[in-house]
Structure 1
Amino acid sequence: MEGMRSAFTAAKLTSLLGVFLAVSVLMGIIGAGLLAPVVGAAGFAAREGVGMFDRLPGDLDQNPLAQQSKILAANGKVLATPAKQNRIIVESKDISQNMKDAQVAIEDERFYQHGGMDLEALARAVVSNATSDNTQGGSTLTQQYIKMALKEEALKNRDAEALSQLDARSGMDGYVRKLRELKYAVTLEERLTKDEILVGYLNLAFYGDNVYGVEAAARHYFNTSAKKLTPSQAATLAGVVRSPTATNPVANPELAQERRDTVLDKMYAQKMITKKELKEAKAVSVTELIEGNLRDSQRSCINSQNPYFCDYVTAWLMQQPALGKTPAERLETLTTKGLTVETTLDLEMSKTLGQMLREATPKNKYHVGSAGSVVEPGTGHVLAINQSSKYSFEESSDKVVKTAVNWNVDSAYGGPGGMQIGSVAKAYTLVEALEKGIPVEATLKIDKPGLADSRGVWLDNPENPQPMPADGETHPVGVFKKEDFQEGCTLGDPVWTVRNAEDKNHDEQVKLRTAAGLSINTAFATLASQVGTCDIRDTMIKLGIHQGNGAEPDPFPPSIVLGSDYGAPLTVAASYAALAADGLYCPPVPVTKIIDSAGKEIPFEKPECEQVIDKEVALGTVELLKGVVAPTGSGWRAILDGNRPAGGKTGTNDNSSHTWFAGFTPQLSTAIFVGNRIGNSQPYDGDMVDLQIGDTYVDGPLFGSSLAAPTWKKFMDWAHRELPVEDWEKPSAEILNGKRVTIPQVIGMTETAAQEALRDAGLTGSIQRVASGQPEGTVVFTTPGVGSSIDTATPVVLHVSTGVPAPAPAPAPRPAPGPTEPEPDEPEPSAPPTTDPPTIEPPPDDGGGGGGGPGNPDPPGQDGKDD
């Protein structure tokens, strides 16, 4: 046994030759390739060792340390610190002397005396390792810093070979590693001051529990800064570095405390602290130091004050070319470069919005949740987004109470693909009507309703009459045909039947103000047929409306007119903000500034605002939408305190699964969504009728006016509590009342061509079928007649041939002979009605109602629902 041990010791002595050579080199014993007389293999090894040392690089080319970035709210408070490593780089002045002393005391007590290599410690380690089974390290703090820096670089570059070399402890690889670290250390000591080396070490070191660098560690364990660390706190951190897993203060407080006390003893022995300070520092246990102070890392958004906004900002940054050419490069920049991202988020506003949404839709059996977005008109700044759910990657079974899916944004930013916007879409038909010259005070001529069953089948279709349904349930409907709409943006089937909410408001004439205020489906379908559905779609796109998956609105009337497309609350809020800002559309933007770790601003692609509609048109649209937020409007529950000027629109799809109120003042634009069937959330099997949600009872169907409108009012009243009352300018007389134009010559045209001619003249034209031998679809005459001078507020009726002449009347008794009058060439058109339509009582709902039935199957990409 003794012989084996001697052989082992001899082998160790031989294998440590490289280390002795390195020591000799740095002591001057080896110099300029010369060595004291050695012979044989030892001489050859020495010469090779000298050559190897001379050839090793001396300068450490280290890239900047990976450090956490900061995402800030508008008031400067930290929302999150995205990082691969939870590290915050600090300068020397921001690190307490206690921390510097503690790290030196435990790792390298002669740090301030040596030049990068402690010969005494190295020689002692060599002798100990050669003559015993114990292994001692002779590394200085500078050498440890070098090794950490090289490891950091290898990890960053995913260099497995370099990592393997850094871990080499024996053989030639071990000697090379040691020699390289020694040479780096000596060179580094020549270039940097001791304090610079120590600060670099403290910023680089791993302190366990997923924190890197002393500043992140101080915040994490003790809720303080590196500048304020006490001797006890500093000693705790300094003791962790050698074995961060075993001495983790959270996982192993006993071992951490034992190690801390060792550090404190060394600090006392080196006269860094007094005996009184030693006693006081040891008197507090590590558990007591941490208790109540431990802070979660905000490396991800989950711990943010608004994780949904944080996720949105992160996804938005991943689309910024200024951070890199690819998403992977941008993520690397965000998580390693120490950026400061200043956002638009108003923390108090966002928090209050979330509270109000949770109050409006607490946990309920209908799986109804709510979401809201707030955008500043004129800038596009996203001031707040929130929702009623609790942020969690472990979703609740209904995926409504708990979810990490952000309901407010497009799928490109982590959203569910949007929700059907319902009658929110009607605002764009109003914009297009005003652009075409139809004034605010216009009167619409509405065709007499047809009759449909509960599925929307047109029962009294003269070309295909249907039997009465077995259940006897029928509804009055507006009947629209393919040819009523612009080619390219028309129906998929020949007929579309449109219902109004509660089967009301089927008057033959209705003022545009009334149609807007009560959200009358048949009136809007009629108006859309007159102003052009493709043109409305173009206006929607100009004003930023798109589907939740990023696609343009579908080119079908149910989508264009009644909002069966799926959109996100943030999209709607930004679009409506353009109406509030006199037609200036600003794409939503959550970030105002990006600053790099050196304090230099990084220019990025900020979306530009654009005047997309004429200011007068915007003012006219606001004038009409003010009528919604009025005692006689569908949004009467949204009237703001003190009758503060506001405009808005309710929205409801035909099964009440998605309801909205989107509205604005000159200062804020807010879209509130309330509903179920959000993305892949669990559906509710019953009808959305007579609901008890929290303290609110919804009598009848759930409409946009039921919960969304009151929630919008509650929030907007709070948000405007300190804002001045502002109003818009009055629209011009022409926008309000129109102008006089001449009815163009449309006799003999097809109804499509005639409608286009009327649109070009700033007029609306409704269709009335008349028996005539003229070709089917041909305009026979108009009311008022062609060439008449009328206000653009006056509707024109196009009398269109059915292609079938009226039957000849029965012969009348021959009159007594007398003077005769010539037959007129064509019937004398009757004068347009001059009386106003009947007064309509304010409804408790928002004009929602069923849409197409089997006669109008869903066009591709949407399900045919309307407001």
Structure 2
Amino acid sequence: MLQKIGQLVGVGIVAGVLVAALALPAVGGIGITARNVATGFLNMPSELETPPPPERSVIYDRDGQVIAEIYDQNREVVEIDKMAPVMRKAIIAMEDSAFYEHGGIDIAGTFRAAIRTVSGDVEGGSSITQQYVKNVLVESADSQAEQEEARETTLGRKIRELRYAVALEQRMSKEEILEGYLNIAYFGDGAYGAESAAQHFFGVSADELNLPQAATLAGTVRYPYLYNPRLNPEDAKNRRDVVLNRMAQTGAITKSEAEEAKATDLGLDVSSPSNGCMPSDKPFFCDYVVQQIESDKRYGETETERARWLRTAGLQIHTTLDSDMQQAAQDAVDEWVPRKNKSRKVAAEVLVEPGTGKIRGMAQSRNYGPDESNLGETSINFAVDAKDGGSTGFQSGSTFKPFTLAAALAHGKQFGTSYSTGNTTTITGQRNCNGGRLAPWTVSNAGDTEGGSTNNMVSGTKGSVNTYFASLQADVGLCKVINMAENLGMHRADGTGFDNDRTQANNSFTLGSEEVSPLNLATAYSVFASRGMHCEPQALDKIVDEHAGKTIDIKPECERVIDKDVADGVSHLLQQTFDGGTTDGLEIGRPAAAKTGTTDNSASAWFAGYTPNLVGTVFVGDPRGPQNHPLRNVTIGGQHYSYVYGATIPGPIWQQTMQKATEELSADDFPSPPAKYGSTSGPPQDDGDDEQNADEAANTADGVPDVLGMGPDEAVGALEAAGFEANLSSTQVRSDQPANTVGAVNPEPGTGLPEGATVNVFLSNGGGQGGGDGDGDGAFGDWDGPGLGLADQGRGRGD
């Protein structure tokens, strides 16, 4: 009996609500109850904010071509006149046939729903306006609790929806409400709104939907999973036919039109999900753009706010990417280092516009994906720093030498600054940036380095002569060279300082012993190309937020960091490398300046070069760890390489890319070399009785002895007996040799070196050689301490 009374009271409440909504006079006892409830109902909050529903954001290249779509909900909001009339008729017939007749509440349907509600079953009976209200409340919820409240199955929720619906009908037209509903409704399979649903299920826009398609979509909104046309086509077809019958009953279509439509198949043309960077053909640049937005406080106080803004605000994100240049870079890295090469090497390339910092290309020879165990797949962007979704970087070899040139020119040195060093020299007296003295450093050239025993800036740069740059760095001052690199924007890819907060500067800085990213290196080289202007790397041009009514223009952030003369001087020196130097044969048909880089034992290889209007940097190495998986005895793209140097693979990638990428750019000349730096000629060489020949004569007849497998004491004794100094490293390496015996030496056995040169000895950890991938990877890696002799070997030219 009490339960029956409760049910009647519940119905009375709804009756009161309906009376209030319809503004009918109260009569009798029931009328008094209804009037009292109606008064309370009308005093409820009624102002419902109807913000735009969450909408997908789109990332574009500089020409307006779509790079990717980013969203929490796959929705594209369109105006009502961009939806086919038959779509509007289908949804009204199925969900609220009296839509144009009521004031927000379907009386009969609400009474039916009230009876079900007081029986514990809240469903059905809602008008389109009420459904729109519910969706708005769910979508605008700022917390899980608010979402649960908007979905709760209680009479209180139903009454709140009714009150909002009545108020909404007073301030919005029927067409506005219907437009809002068709844009916010969920149609299943991740498609929100009629436009996205039409595109997803049928490959057409909402204004192109035909009768069977519109009926199919209208049939999904009540139970999107059950009637999902892709997952449950038979149920979806039956539901579609119910919609068609209902449309005929309401007079929206004729019976013959309904029968004709029911005779057709679903005709699906389902598109794959396009959300995020993975489906993009430019995934790593896309990922970088996402990282930039989510990390920049200009776009929100917290990362959570920024991420939500990106995925719900329907942004138009215009980037700096040039798709033609991007394609040129992608084609080149894929050709020279195929994505699924069994050696597991990777190539990454960045193109940057000097003077603006705008990134024009960002490619790497990997598929974008989360499973690193899949050959050729990674989610790490090896072109950028760790904080931007990249790695902790790779040693860049002789691509650092231009920073020493810039420091020297900035501190009054001239092109003719020369040193007689021979093939080996020992640097003493270097100090870190706190004034602490560093240990003596012995550095050697590669056996085939070009240039005589005496070199100046021109010949030293052309031949990438290690001993020359070690001497130049010592002359200028290690800390000044580090300061210059940092002034040009260089930093370690892991975010730490070059000299560990100025206390542990590295002797071999000029030979590229620091781990950096290709983007960072390209940004620094852009300073030379732009005649002294440093610009922060820029991936975004503007972001249009139509819902907020604003456009965010992103301007280049540039400042002068070196004099024009210094930049022009470095550019002049780096142009010489194409004239019989380390980049000879890699010309691109227009003025260019470049530098190769190969780290010790070919752990990784680089090429950095530029024209006055485009900079490109290329890295090739092994993400598993270049030191344990160097570029030695590897087969890449069907080609076997004993050693990979900066000019072996990175150089051709750069050349192929730049020839294509600069086709639409003007072939500008570099400025003339500043006269204040003196002669641009190399130093005169003597007739053969010079120190170089004496050093070559001092080379041991049999080269470095084979001490592999020996104990450490025996190996050191054998090396010293052969006329070399032995440096026993504390670093153990993978090797086939027994543990704690010599697993590797650097340089290799048989290498011809001057008497007294240092040979680095590495003991085996007994773990076996290589990575088990059959690529012939060697065992030992970079050596940055005393005796660094092969930090820069070129394609027969010392790099």
TM-score, normalised via structure 2 length: 0.80
Q: Which residue of 2 aligns with 1:396?
A: 373
Q: Which residue of 1 aligns with 2:686?
A: none
Report deviation, 1:498. 0.9
Report deviation, 1:738. 9.1
Change (3 A) 1:63 1:19: same
Contact 1:375–1:573 at 8 Å: present in 2 too? yes
Contact 2:73–2:192 at 8 Å: present in 1 too? yes
Change (3 A) 1:327 1:11: closer
Give the match's secondary structure for 1:561.
Answer: helix
Change (3 A) 1:570 1:865: farther
Q: Which residue of 1 aligns with 2:660?
A: 718
Contact 1:569–1:672 at 8 Å: present in 2 too? yes
1:541 aligns with 2:486: yes
Change (3 A) 1:127 1:627: closer
> For residues 690-729 of structure 1, what are the structure 2 equivalents within 5 Å?
690-698=633-641, 700-729=642-671
Give the match's secondary structure for 2:350.
Answer: strand
Report deviation, 1:409. 0.5
Distance 2:23 2:629 in 1: 90
> For residues 680-699 of structure 1, what are the structure 2 equivalents within 5 Å?
681=624, 688-698=631-641
Distance 1:383 1:851 in 2: 44
Contact 1:146–1:185 at 8 Å: present in 2 too? yes
Q: Which residue of 1 aligns with 2:738?
A: none
Change (3 A) 1:491 1:507: farther
* Candidates 57, 62, 83, aligned match of 1:95: 83
Report deviation, 1:404. 0.8
> For residues 62-461 of structure 1, what are the structure 2 equivalents within 5 Å?
62-123=50-111, 137-154=124-141, 156-160=142-146, 163-164=148-149, 166-169=151-154, 174=155, 176-274=156-254, 277-286=257-266, 288-290=267-269, 294-362=270-338, 363-396=340-373, 401-440=376-415, 442-448=416-422
Letter in 2 for 1:89: V
Structure 1 residue runs without a partner (length 5+):
1-5, 449-475, 740-849
Q: Which residue of 1 aligns with 2:11?
A: 16
Contact 2:349–2:362 at 8 Å: present in 1 too? yes
Distance 2:609 2:123 in 1: 72
Letter in 1 for 2:516: G
* Candidates 451, 473, 477, aligned match of 1:532: 477
Give the match's secondary structure for 1:289.
Answer: coil
Distance 1:299 1:851 in 2: 56
Change (3 A) 1:477 1:119: same
483-492 or 100-109: bigger deviation: 483-492
Give the match's secondary structure for 1:638.
Answer: coil
Contact 2:458–2:680 at 8 Å: present in 1 too? no
Give the match's secondary structure for 1:79.
Answer: strand
Change (3 A) 1:276 1:718: farther
Q: Which residue of 2 aligns with 1:648?
A: 594
- Give per-residue Cα distances to partners, 1:135-180, cap 9 Å, x unaligned: 87322111111122122223x33335x62464224xxxx1x33322
Distance 2:12 2:242 in 1: 33
1:608 aligns with 2:550: no
Contact 2:462–2:577 at 8 Å: present in 1 too? yes
- Give per-residue Cα distances to partners, 1:465-513, cap 9 Å, x unaligned: xxxxxxxxxxx522111x1456647764x22111212264584311321
Q: Which residue of 2 aligns with 1:866?
A: 791
Report deviation, 1:604. 6.2
Q: Which residue of 2 aligns with 1:737?
A: 679
Contact 1:490–1:533 at 8 Å: present in 2 too? no
Distance 1:190 1:408 in 2: 56
- Give per-residue Cα distances to partners, 1:208-237, cap 9 Å, x unaligned: 112211222222222222222222222111
- Give per-residue Cα distances to partners, 1:701-743, cap 9 Å, x unaligned: 211111110111111111123433221121232234399xxxx
Distance 2:517 2:629 in 1: 25
Report deviation, 1:103. 0.9
Contact 1:637–1:709 at 8 Å: present in 2 too? no
Give the match's secondary structure for 1:80.
Answer: strand
Distance 2:181 2:419 in 1: 81
Contact 2:15–2:34 at 8 Å: present in 1 too? no
188-197 or 70-79: bigger deviation: 70-79
1:635 aligns with 2:635: no
- Give per-residue Cα distances to partners, 1:775-808, cap 9 Å, x unaligned: xxxxxxxxxxxxxxxxxxxxxxxxxxxxxxxxxx
Q: Which residue of 2 aligns with 1:665?
A: 611
418-427 or 121-130: bigger deviation: 121-130
Q: CA RMSD in A?
A: 3.1
1:675 aligns with 2:621: yes
Change (3 A) 1:283 1:614: farther
> For residues 447-596 of structure 1, what are the structure 2 equivalents within 5 Å?
447-448=421-422, 477-481=424-428, 483-485=429-431, 488=434, 492=438, 494-502=439-447, 504=449, 507-554=452-499, 556-596=505-545
Change (3 A) 1:684 1:397: farther
Report deviation, 1:415. 0.4
Q: Which residue of 1 aligns with 2:704?
A: none
Contact 1:490–1:557 at 8 Å: present in 2 too? no
Contact 2:105–2:166 at 8 Å: present in 1 too? yes
Contact 1:320–1:605 at 8 Å: present in 2 too? no
Letter in 2 for 1:596: D
Report deviation, 1:48. 5.3
Distance 2:135 2:111 in 1: 23
Report deviation, 1:361. 1.1
Change (3 A) 1:386 1:61: same
Report deviation, 1:29. 4.5
Letter in 1 for 2:426: V
Report deviation, 1:425. 0.2
Report deviation, 1:435. 1.8
Distance 2:123 2:662 in 1: 69
- Give per-residue Cα distances to partners, 1:685-709, cap 9 Å, x unaligned: 57643433113332x4211111110
Distance 1:385 1:190 in 2: 53
Distance 1:165 1:690 in 2: 64
Change (3 A) 1:93 1:565: same
Letter in 2 for 1:383: R
Q: Which residue of 2 aligns with 1:783?
A: none
Contact 2:430–2:477 at 8 Å: present in 1 too? no
Report deviation, 1:528. 0.8
Q: Which residue of 2 aligns with 1:37?
A: 29
Letter in 2 for 1:141: I
Change (3 A) 1:46 1:565: same
Give the match's secondary structure for 2:640.
Answer: strand
578-587 or 78-87: bigger deviation: 78-87
Distance 1:479 1:580 in 2: 34
Distance 2:158 2:506 in 1: 76
Distance 1:312 1:128 in 2: 52
Distance 2:229 2:480 in 1: 66
Change (3 A) 1:255 1:7: farther
Distance 2:201 2:565 in 1: 60
- Give per-residue Cα distances to partners, 1:572-622, cap 9 Å, x unaligned: 112112211112221110001011124744446645211211112211111
Contact 2:451–2:463 at 8 Å: present in 1 too? no
